[in-house]
Structure 1
Amino acid sequence: MKIEFEGDKPIVDATQIAPLMELDVIGFQVLMQSGHIRTGVERGTGVDAGKLRLTFQSPDWRVRLTCTGDGAVLTTTRLKLPGGSVHPMTGD
């Protein structure tokens, strides 16, 4: 997996992230658009300078990708979160 960039903004293909969250692409997109998947980008400093950590968090999963500055994914971490699911189509 490789992350693309528009300027300094990382762009991630939903077909690569959705399965990591046990979602299909449409379900992933619906949850992103409704705000039920939060995202974050952290840029490394010190010994981690030049690396990025991208986080995707749904009601069920937290997925973190650690990447090089050019977008090559070094590690992928998945954590199943306690709690209920949000149905992608209804938000329930």
Structure 2
Amino acid sequence: MPEIMIGDGTIQIDASILAQGLGLGPLEVLDLLRCGDITSRCERGIGEDEGRFRLTFFHAQRRLRVIVDGTGRVLQRSSVDFGSQPLPTTLRRPGS
């Protein structure tokens, strides 16, 4: 099974990708997703980026960004740890 599957309006990503990028264990990822402590954003490319998706995941002071093509092939992956500083307000979900 590919790490990222795209189809029928859904995107599925393997928990191991999130775990590695957010500095967590794969089982932790599932629990944190269920309780809403890992949040995400999906953006569809337009213009030059047509056919690509930017998937961004947030947890505590970390951000993981994965850019994939329409088949789910990873084109770019980056992770940022903001250290002791909280995530910038613009990166937080409303109300948190």
Structure-2 residue corresponding to 1:86: none
Identity, in percent, stands at 29
Task: Determine the C-alpha separation between the residues in 1 that align with 2:47 and 2:20.
Answer: 32
Structure-2 residue corresponding to 1:54: 55
Task: Determine the C-alpha separation between the residues in 2 that align with 1:72 and 1:54.
Answer: 12
Structure-2 residue corresponding to 1:27: 28
Deviation at 1:17, TM superposition (A): 1.6
Task: Determine the C-alpha separation between the residues in 2 that align with 1:7 and 1:18.
Answer: 25
Deviation at 1:68, TM superposition (A): 0.5
Structure-2 residue corresponding to 1:71: 72
1:62 partner SS: strand
Task: Determine the C-alpha separation between the residues in 2 that align with 1:27 and 1:10.
Answer: 20
Task: Determine the C-alpha separation between the residues in 2 that align with 1:51 and 1:60.
Answer: 26
Task: Determine the C-alpha separation between the residues in 2 that align with 1:67 and 1:32.
Answer: 21
Task: Determine the C-alpha separation between the residues in 2 that align with 1:77 and 1:44.
Answer: 17
Task: Determine the C-alpha separation between the residues in 2 that align with 1:68 and 1:45.
Answer: 12
Q: How many residues align?
A: 83
Deviation at 1:8, TM superposition (A): 2.1
In the superposition, the TM-score normalised over structure 2's length comes to 0.79
Instruction: Give 1:68's aligned amino acid.
Output: D
Going from structure 1 to structure 2, the CA distance change for 1:26 and 1:2 (only over 3 Å counts) comes to closer
Runs of 5+ unmatched residues, structure 2: 87-96
**Cα RMSD (Å) of the superposition?**
1.4
Runs of 5+ unmatched residues, structure 1: 84-92
In the superposition, the TM-score normalised over structure 1's length comes to 0.82
Runs of 4+ in 1 over 6 A off after TM superposition: none
